[in-house]
């Protein structure tokens, strides 16, 4: 057995956050496995086997995570209804004012609007970055059947990325594919 290594508090926090953000997109034995690894992730010892499990769970949940995000982008009214009430009151006011100024409530377009840089400061953007994965999980929970087509599309994209981005790396270094599975829903 390979020796375990001690993780910094930051590394543990990142792993716990990742596992918690993937958990809603799983079911059955995969969900149980993630729950077990969540328990182990808080311990001092973190083995290469744990790291391999983490990558496996990232890969297994990526298509659902990506599909939920695409569903949110394709259904701006549902995203708006789910996101805005979960924001802090000041962020709600700023988003509503920005939407009124731009004449629509399409969240991702609002973020790209010229006035968004003036309306939404670093604190509001950080809040939105933290809320979006939670809102995607809520949309997944409530609209899973509608999201299925987006998941199928994302799975095809994942398979293609696996073939093109999964190269050899030094031990302990993530490939571009593994990095995309772990840290983001975007491959490009």
- DSSP state string for 136-159: HHHHHHHHHHHHHHHHHHHHHHHH
Residues whose CB is less than 8 angstroms from the CB of residue 49 and which lie 6 or more positions away in sequence, other chains included: 2
Global pTM reads: 0.83
pLDDT, one tens digit for every residue, the chain (188 residues)? 444 555 677 777 787 888 888 889 998 999 998 888 888 776 666 777 888 888 888 899 999 999 999 999 999 999 999 999 999 999 999 999 999 999 999 999 999 999 999 999 999 999 999 999 999 999 999 999 999 999 999 999 988 888 777 666 666 677 777 777 777 655 44
pLDDT at 187: 43
pLDDT of residue 188: 42
Task: Determine the Cα–Cα distance for residues 108 and 129; give it in Å rounded to an integer.
Answer: 12
Structure tokens at 47: 């083995």
**In the chain, domain spans:** 7-183
**Contact predicate 150/74, CB 8 Å:** yes
Comparing C-alpha atoms, which of 6, 58, 67, 10 is closest to residue 37?
Answer: 58
pLDDT at residue 109, rounded to an integer:
94
Work out the end-to-end distance of the chain between its first and last CA atoms, rounded to an integer number of angstroms. Answer: 37
Query: Beta-carbon neighbour count of residue 183 at 10 Å?
Result: 12
CA distance 183 to 164: 18
């Amino acid at each position: 057995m390979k020796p375990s290594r001690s993780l910094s508090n930051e590394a543990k926090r990142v792993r716990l956050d990742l596992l918690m953000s993937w958990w809603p997109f799983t079911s059955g034995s995969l969900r149980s496995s993630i729950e077990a690894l969540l328990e182990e992730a808080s311990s001092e010892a973190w083995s290469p086997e744990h790291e391999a499990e983490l990558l496996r769970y990232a890969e297994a949940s990526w298509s659902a995570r990506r599909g939920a995000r695409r569903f949110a982008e394709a259904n701006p009214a549902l995203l708006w209804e789910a996101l805005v009430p979960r924001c802090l009151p000041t962020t709600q006011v700023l988003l509503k004012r920005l939407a009124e100024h731009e004449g629509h409530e399409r969240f991702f377009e609002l973020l790209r609007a010229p006035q968004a840089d003036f309306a939404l400061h670093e604190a509001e953007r950080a809040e939105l970055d933290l809320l979006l994965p939670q809102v995607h999980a809520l949309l997944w929970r409530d609209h899973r059947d509608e999201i299925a087509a987006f998941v199928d599309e994302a799975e095809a994209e994942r398979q293609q990325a696996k073939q093109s981005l999964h190269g050899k790396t030094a031990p302990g270094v993530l490939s571009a594919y593994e990095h995309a599975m772990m840290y983001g829903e975007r491959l490009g």
